[in-house]
Amino acid sequence: MPLIAVLPGDGIGPEVTTHARRVLEALDLGLEFQEAPIGGAAYLAAGRPLPAETLALAKKADAVLFGAIGDPRFEGLERRLRPEAALLGIRRELGLFANIRPATLFPGLEEASPLKAEVVKGLDIVIVRELTGDVYFGEKGRRTNIEGLRQGYDVMSYNEGEVDRIVRVGFEMAKRRRKKLCSVDKANVLETSQLWRDVVNEIAIEYPEVQLTHMYVDNAAMQLVRRPADFDVIVTGNLFGDILSDQASMCAGSIGMLPSASLSAWSGANGMYEPIHGSAPDIAGQGKANPCAAILSAAMLLRHSLVNEAAAKRVEAAVGAALAKGARTADLGGSLSTTEMADAVLQELV
């Protein structure tokens, strides 16, 4: 019986994760669920954002269903005790180097995007973001410089092995889709990016069927609002991927629609699945959150960790069908509550 670790976390995390779990249960696949605290919730309960028991459960599980972390009450804590430390810690501990963030515009949501409908129509892109390296995990600290000024530093670096494995995920993804891969870097300024670009070009030889382009990150940010539907797969480092994936979410109507998968291997391995929206403390506990990103994350869990493509498609189709019938939470311009939206999806689950 596959074991699913459920880590609801903070803010709207618990509200949306409940419904993702309901959808998985409704499929009747004989899954076992075990819940554990993480983030600010775990700090309050156990004094640490990532308790050893939570990490052990995540490691032993076949997949992790994750809500969100982050709570302004803990912003003043030292960095290792803040909720974010739990997310970065679990990514590193589980070796989740490949973050897959699809941005798909469901038909009918064109008007929900702040961009013009004709610009976002047909949007179907995947951002493949490296997740366990880059400036996120480099040496960081504070020092006093030679002029006596306080200085903060975070080292950006990638080794060729780290670049190689994530870029291959990008090529494999593109190969299965429209066969276009855009690698995003800042090679005109950063040496880390030049190495990245060199490795991409070396691997490209093995994928002659994939059309490869390179783009500087500033240009990519511009093209994402100018002609987002032209992109197929984007592969990029941790920091650039963080920024571009939030931007891409607006092309897809609402950040409340975007799921993600964080994987330690291309398929069949354990992985962590989470909506890309954060904990949204401003709307937490009000029943306003859109559960679709969490539900679509459950679909990705079925696809990548349980290798059950049919079940994944059923869930995605149910979300599409509910939207087609007009079901909308506030972020999509509607008035349904979190539970009502999830109910609408469950009703379409055939």
Residues marked active site are found at 136, 186, 218, 242, 246
Which one of residues 130, 185, 232, 242 is an interface residue with ligand IPM (CB under 6 A)?
A: 242
> 113, 261 in Cβ contact below 8 A?
no
Is residue 242 at the binding interface for Mg ion, with CB under 5 A as the rule?
A: yes
3-state secondary structure of 307: coil
Which one of residues 2, 18, 44, 84 is an interface residue with ligand IPM (CB under 6 A)?
A: 84
Of 87 and 318, which CB lies nearer to ligand IPM in the complex structure?
A: 87
Of 84 and 124, which CB lies nearer to ligand IPM in the complex structure?
A: 84
3-class SS string, 104-139:
ECCCCCHHHCCCCHHHHCCCEEEEEEECCCHHHCCC
Compute the C-alpha angle 342/114/319, nearest 5°.
20
Of 170 and 328, which CB lies nearer to ligand IPM in the complex structure?
A: 170
One character per residue 15-54, x = contact with ligand IPM (rule: CB under 6 A): ----------------------------------------
How big is the site for ligand IPM, counted in residues (CB under 6 A)?
Answer: 5
Strand order in the sheet with 98-104: 32-35, 3-9, 63-68, 271-275, 259-263, 98-104, 124-130, 233-236, 180-185, 211-216
What length does the chain have? 350
Stretch that binds Mg ion, among 4-12, 241-249, 288-296, 306-314 (CB under 5 A): 241-249
Of 90 and 212, which CB lies nearer to ligand IPM in the complex structure?
A: 90
DSSP state of 3: E
| Ranges within 264-283 binding ligand IPM (CB under 6 A) | 278
**Which residues form the interface with ligand IPM (CB under 6 A)?**
70, 84, 87, 242, 278
